[in-house]
Amino acid sequence: MSSDANIMTAKGIKGGEKIMAYKRKKSIWSILWAQRVLILMTFPLVIHRFIFSYLPLYGWTMAFQQYRPAIRSMWDQTWVGFDHFHMLLIGPLSERFSRAVINTLGQSALMLFTGTIVTILLSLLLNEMKQIGAKRIIQNILYLPHFLSMVIIAGLAGRMVGLDGIVNQILGIFGIDPILFLGHAEYFWGLMAGINLWRTIGWGSIIYLAAMTGIDPSLYEAAEVDGANRYKKMWYITLPGIKSTIIILLIMNLGWILNAGFEIQWILGNGMNMARSEILDIFILRFGIEQQNFGLATAAGILRTGVSIFMVLSANLIAKLMGQERLI
């Protein structure tokens, strides 16, 4: 009897699991049906993303071909296998390609580090300002460069760091001789970090200020009762309150770490600073587009995309292991 009872119990458990699985499956479809209007509203965005982000991946086949635009069919091209990747990684262009990668990573990392730190500090100071009028004036002044074209930004930056620019005029006040910043490669990374900070600091502070508005005001009131001053409230309440926003933005920005820009480096770069100013996009333009070696340019783009995906996934995994907010 006991064995028969065990068999019946096992069958009952299996039957219950099937019923629960069926109900769960049915509930998912019912939820999808209930949200059908919202799902239909997302279709245009999904189609847009498919057309402009996924469909062009078909062109990655050029990385394995000696592509010639005169031949219309992609499948009638001369296939060269991994020759372009070999040329970039261990071939004759490996040294210059690796230098372009280092320049891109160095400029992006420096811009990301300085931009994040200074933007957070600015947001904290703006959040503590009590004079609304002065706060708005400062914000408008800092936001303005974001709306200027990159070409205009590069032109203004070039004039500012020129021999007769405002930077050398300030240095002259302290008795320092004028410096040809664009003529020395070692200054270029710092110059890019400064230009990026000037252009993005105001706009980037909007996100952190918005995150600060979501912090419970009662926390500040309790801290004030306990005798905490402004600096302690910023350190123990405001910064922990926006920590998840900081991590999410860092993860997202890491995906663009191999995209240090193009216009400013192209305009301000020259033969004297090329060792530090040539980034991946300029390398692809010079060796891929100008020389019509489209396969080489595509191979370099694939390598850049692979590194970017690896950086995002790694940062997301680290955030997960640390128990912090993550992107995916």
Q: What is the pLDDT of residue 1?
A: 46
The pTM for the full model equals: 0.79
Cα 148 versus chain centre, distance = 20
Give the burial class of 138: count Cβ atoms within 10 A of its Cβ; 0-12 exposed, 13-18 middle, 19 or more buried.
middle
Helix, strand, coil percentages for the chain (3-state, nearest 5): 75, 0, 20
Do 15 and 74 belong to one domain?
A: yes
Q: What is the pLDDT of residue 58?
A: 87
Q: Is residue 85 part of a domain?
A: no
Do 173 and 208 belong to one domain?
A: yes
Query: Which of 79, 103, 136 is a domain's end point?
Result: 79
Q: What is the pLDDT of residue 3?
A: 54
Do 174 and 45 belong to one domain?
A: no
Q: Is residue 84 part of a domain?
A: no
Spans of the chain, pLDDT less than 50: 1-2, 5-11, 13
Query: Which of 24, 53, 79 is a domain's end point?
Result: 79
Query: Which of 79, 104, 132 is a domain's end point?
Result: 79
Q: What is the pLDDT of residue 14?
A: 53
Query: End-to-end distance of the chain based on CA atoms, in angstroms?
Result: 52
Q: What is the pLDDT of residue 98?
A: 92
Task: Please name which of 113, 134, 100 lies closest in space to residue 259, comparing C-alpha atoms.
Answer: 100
Q: What is the pLDDT of residue 83?
A: 92
Q: What is the pLDDT of residue 321?
A: 75
Distances (CA, A) of 3 to 9, 10, 15, 298: 10, 11, 18, 67
Do 119 and 217 belong to one domain?
A: yes
- The parent domain of residue 37 ranges over 2-79
Q: What is the DSSP letter of 78?
A: E
Do 282 and 261 belong to one domain?
A: yes
Do 245 and 317 belong to one domain?
A: yes
